[in-house]
Amino acid sequence: MPSTLGAPRQLLRRLREVMAARESVQERLDKVVMLIAGNMVAEVSSLYLLRRDGSLELFATEGLNREAVHNTHLKPGEGLVGLIAEQAEAKQFADAQGHPAFSFRPETGEEIYHSFLGVPILRGGNAIGVLTVQNRTHRTYSDEEVEALQTTAMVLAEMIASAGLTAEGDASAENKRQQNLVFKGVVISEGVALGHVVLHEPRIIVTKLIAEDLELERRRLKQAIDELTGTIDAMLERGDLARAGEHREVLEAFRMFAHDRGWQRRLDEALLTGLTADAAVQRVRNDTRARMLRETDPQLRERLHDIDDLSNRLLRLLAGGAAMTAASGNLPQDAILIARAMGPAELLDYDRQRLRALVLEEGGTTSHVAIVARALGLVAITQAKGVLDNVEPGDPAIVDAETGEFHVRPTPEVVAAYSDKVRFRARRQAQYAALRTVPPVTLDGQHVSLNINAGLLYDLPHLDQSGADGIGLFRTELQFMIASTFPRLEQQTRIYKSIMDAAGGRPVTFRSLDVGGDKVLPYFRTNKEENPALGWRAIRMALDRPALFRTQIRALLRAAQGRELRVMLPMIADVSEFQSAKSLIDHEVTILKRHSYQEPKRLLIGAMVEVPALLWQLDRLLPLTDFASVGSNDLMQFLFAVDRGNELVAHRFDALNPANLKALAVIVEGATRHHVPLNLCGEMAGKPLEAMALIGLGFRSVSMAPASVGPVKAMILSLDAGDLRPKLNDLMATRATSIREDLKLYAAEKGVQV
């Protein structure tokens, strides 16, 4: 075919005339497929649209039997058209009928056509339809033809959506907006919030799609990109963010992506097809989302949020607005922020005093925005599918980040119930606050040290607010996860020194780098593993990459400067691993002395007991340690072979199963025998009933989320530990799979606050 006929810019000029015509949508679609067929010298051009049930309906055709329009339907994933919609990528076949996915529909009369080219019609990265061309001859379509059809599909996407022809445009969707609905999500940060919906990204509708002056569009795009990168630079210089080390690293990673030449090159290429700057941004965003949504690599999924954030900011600038989100507008005092996905930089744009909660459709609990949401103390849930299609700005809503539920337009009865729940929580919090300075001592005089888990500088104020004794677990990996490159020695030293300074003399236990498994460093390439939780992670990675481990230890030693330094080694499965890591630490201490740096006043090296194999090595391990800490989450996961991130099995076994409690009792007995201080950090420690069981087993130091300190302290103050011990031993001897209900009865009888 002559290249001039397939040039996307020529095709777009013809499309502009069709779209401007005062005709029905169906008449315009009929003309569009006729125009495509003529322009591409194709004997068939057809348009299929996605319906609410997931099927694809033939909406317009030039070349196939007209009677098939609105009568031919393909099930989800059926046929070549279904394959293209499912995979959201262009496909062509010189002999379509020979492909195993080909689905023959006699009513269309397509049996005489062999070559086939189809492209997805994308909106938000998801296919809302498919555009195809066919020819009788066996042929391969050129790259220019594929590009022309893809660009046409992008223009059609806007036309189709504005006409309400997508599945989301069905009449039933409007009815849903009047109903009270409940969505289920995954908890990021616990709590309950009542408020009103604020859409993070009010949709920016690109109305002008086809360029009239290419040079003008190039200038507009360059100016917008320059302004965008300038805005991000300004955010980095903002006083409060410049001081927050981990958030600065988030923004540095974001800025690096904004300067990415590959992204800017794709924008330029989209412009050359004849699109406006705005449409080019939309085209690249749709194509990128379509590709990344189908990736399983969490590193790439995290970049998806960055491309969304940057594209949205760029579209606002092109539309004549600022690069800010809804954050720059007037937020209600009780804003519940709703977004499909967010970058952490976007969340930091908002007035934290007005935000009550965050609800996301996409993103994991370990994503960058989840880390920042927890640090800011927001009530938050994620993976609440379908929320954006069913909410309007200003809708009353409730986020229950205890059960993971999100209530939209709740009934008065539901509002009343949650209002009572919030008031009750507020009263309980006031009671816990009053206990802040009260020592955590049981009725029979047993002192229990209460510590918090932390991982960001924003967590440090919780030490004073909760009245905790110290930080029993500082997750150093969070600093690495939100950085764009491996933090240098000076950066790490500065962060660790800030943490010790903020602790004000209270003990801080630093867990050495615990990455791998579901904790991915975006700049650190690893091989895909079948079972990452059991794979190359934590101390295993540290020993195989000693330079990374030694750099972190060197930073910790320098940061201590005459203070006590506590370092905890994770995922120890064999005593030899602890010995090897300790040798590396001893070597770094020697180097510290050689270079006349001030040594820590006291250096304590501990091991995490979270691999069941250690239960039979305690008498060899514990004499080598200065302290030990039980990682109850992983210990239980490995004991029961239960993936705690898998919804199908995560709740299959109870932490108060006698088998789990007996394993913990063995660890307590070993630590007592060797006079080694013992702590437990994990979800068990933060739940009053489970914490009661731990005290009954003999634990006298536990570490938990800051919000759990008050409830656990209230339990301790009402507990007689000596009376509980024999009762617990009796219960563990039973054949029950859980002693939870029996412990609840005991607490009720004895007046223990659980």
pLDDT in tens, 632-648: 988 998 999 887 666 67
Q: Which residue in this structure is represented by tokens 């570490």?
A: 703
**Going by DSSP bridges, is the β-strand pair 91-93/192-199 parallel, antiparallel, or unpaired?**
unpaired
**Where is the domain boundary, 119, 139, 170?**
170
Span 538-563, average pLDDT: 92
Q: In this model, does residue 241 exceed pLDDT 50? A: no
**Parallel, antiparallel, or unpaired: how do β-strands 396-400 and 405-408 relate?**
antiparallel
Is 247 catalytic? The answer is no
SS3 554: helix
| Confidence tier at 521 by pLDDT (50, 70, 90) | low
Q: Which of 114, 200, 247, 368 is catalytic?
A: 368
User: What CATH number should be reported for the domain holding residue 325?
Assistant: 3.50.30.10
Q: Do both 140 and 193 map to the same domain?
A: no
C-alpha 65, offset from chain centre: 47
- 252 & 134 share domain: no
Confidence of residue 6 (pLDDT cuts 50, 70, 90): very low
Max mean pLDDT among 223-227, 429-433, 460-464, 670-674 falls in 670-674
Q: Strand, coil or helix: what is 82?
A: helix
Whether residues 67 and 190 fall in one domain: no
CA distance 153 to 147: 10
Comparing 6 with 183, the larger pLDDT belongs to 183
Q: How far apart are CA 165 and CA 661, in angstroms?
A: 58
Q: To 10 degrees, what angle do helices 740-750 and 688-697 make?
A: 90
Query: In terms of Cα–Cα distance, which of 308, 306, 282, 304 is closest to 292?
Result: 304
Residue 745, pLDDT above cutoff 90: yes
**Residue 392 located in a structural domain:** yes
What are the start-end ranges of the H helices in 563-707? 575-594, 618-621, 632-639, 658-673, 688-697
Q: Which domain holds residue 99?
A: 3-170
| Domain contains 726 | no
CA separation for the pair 431, 669 (Å, rounded): 35
- Same domain, yes or no, for 308 and 388? yes
Q: Per-residue pLDDT averaged across 653-677, rounded? A: 95
pLDDT band at 173 (very low <50, low <70, confident <90, very high): very low
- Whether 97 is in a domain gets the answer yes
Please tell me whether residues 551 and 657 are part of one structural domain.
Answer: yes
Q: Which of 264-268, 523-527, 532-536, 622-626 has the lowest mean pLDDT?
A: 523-527
Predicted confidence at residue 272, as pLDDT, reads: 81
Asked if pLDDT for residue 234 goes beyond 80, the answer is: no
All residues at 6 or more sequence positions from 691 whose CB lies less than 8 Å from its CB, including other chains: 684, 685, 702, 704, 712, 715, 716
Domain finish residue from 686, 706, 726: 706
Identify whether residues 120 and 261 lie together within a single domain. Answer: no
Phi and psi dihedrals of 338, rounded to 5? Answer: -115, 135
Q: What's residue 80's pLDDT?
A: 94
Q: How many domains, the chain?
A: 3
Are 355 and 410 part of one and the same domain? yes
The CATH number covering residue 9 comes to 3.30.450.40
CB atoms closer than 10 angstroms to residue 322: 11
d(CA 28, CA 36): 12
Query: In this structure, are 362 and 468 located in the same domain?
Result: no
In this predicted structure, what is the pLDDT of residue 683? 83
| CATH code of the domain containing 547 | 3.20.20.60
Q: pLDDT at residue 244 above 50?
A: no
Helix (H, G, I), strand (E, B) or coil at 565: strand
Average pLDDT rounded to a whole number, residues 161-182: 56
Give the single-character DSSP code of 328: G
Confidence of residue 243 (pLDDT cuts 50, 70, 90): very low
For residue 141, give the amino acid letter: Y
Q: Let me know: does 513 contact 548? Beta carbons within 8 Å.
A: yes
Q: How far apart (Å, rounded) are the C-alpha atoms in residues 66 and 109?
A: 10
228-242, 278-292, 464-478, 694-708 — which is least confidently predicted?
Answer: 228-242
Decide if 736 is inside a domain. no
Q: Is the pLDDT assigned to residue 327 strictly greater than 50?
A: yes
Q: Which residues of 267-302 are buried (b: 16+ CB within 10 A; e: fewer)?
A: beebbebbbbbbbbbbbbbbbbbbebeeeeeeeebb
What's the confidence (pLDDT) of residue 168? Answer: 46
pLDDT, greater one: 228 or 107:
107
pLDDT value of residue 212: 80
Maximum separation of any 2 CA atoms in the chain, in Å: 92
Cα–Cα nearest to 15, from 208, 167, 237: 208
Average pLDDT, stretch 625-631? 96
- Asked whether residue 345 falls in the same domain as residue 248, the answer is yes
Chain Cα centroid distance, residue 503? 29
Strands 126-135 and 44-50: antiparallel
Residue 674 appears among annotated catalytic residues? no
Written as six digits, the tokens of 327 are 């954050």
The answer to whether position 557 is within a domain reads yes
DSSP labels, 27-93: HHHHHHHHHHHHHTT-SEEEEEEE-TTS-EEEEEEESS-GGGTTT-EE-TT-HHHHHHHHHTS-EEE
- The arithmetic mean of pLDDT across residues 106-110, rounded, is 91
Position 518 scores a pLDDT of 56
Q: Which two tokens stand for residue 71?
A: 């009568």
- The reply to whether 429 falls in a domain is no
- pLDDT at residue 323 tops 50: no
Confidence at residue 690, expressed as pLDDT on a 0 to 100 scale: 96
Greater model confidence, 483 or 347: 347
Point out the catalytic residue in the list 247, 305, 462, 681: 681
Residues 398, 419: Cα–Cα separation, whole Å? 10
Signed CA dihedral, 585, 587, 588, 589: sign only: positive
What pLDDT score does 266 carry? 82
Which tens digit of pLDDT belongs to each residue from 716-731? 999 999 999 999 999 9
pLDDT at 744: 95
pLDDT in tens, 16-39: 777 767 788 888 889 889 988 888
- Asked if residues 538 and 514 have their Cβ atoms less than 8 Å apart, the reply is yes
Asked if residue 444 is part of any domain, the answer here is: no
Determine the length of the chain: 754
Any bridge partners for residue 704, and if so which?
Answer: 452
The pLDDT confidence band at residue 65, using thresholds 50, 70 and 90, is very high
The predicted structure's pLDDT at residue 99: 92
- Asked if the structure places residue 440 within a domain, the reply is no
For 207-225, give one letter per residue: b (16+ CB within 10 A) or e: eebbbeeeeebbebbeebb
Whether residue 551 is found in the same domain as residue 600: yes
Q: What is the 3-state secondary structure (H, E, C) of 574-612?
A: CHHHHHHHHHHHHHHHHHHHHCCCCCCCEEEEEEEECCH
Q: Kindly report the CA angle at 459 between 533 and 387, in degrees rounded to 5?
A: 70
- Do residues 30 and 69 make contact, with C-beta atoms less than 8 angstroms apart? no
What per-residue confidence (pLDDT) applies to 646?
65
Q: Are residues 214 and 347 in the same domain?
A: yes
- Provide the β-strand partners of residue 195: 397
Give 638 or 246, the one with higher predicted confidence.
638
**Burial (0-12, 13-18, 19+ Cβ within 10 Å), 262:** exposed
Maximum average pLDDT range among 265-274, 309-318, 541-550, 620-629:
620-629
Q: Among 69-73, 361-365, 401-405, which is the least confidently predicted range?
A: 361-365
Cβ atoms within 10 Å of 239's Cβ, excluding its own: 7
43 and 187 belong to one structural domain:
no
- Other C-beta atoms closer than 10 Å to the C-beta of 683 total 16
Of 689, 706, 723, the position where a domain reaches its end is 706
User: Which stretch of DSSP H or E encloses residue 85?
Assistant: helix 79-87
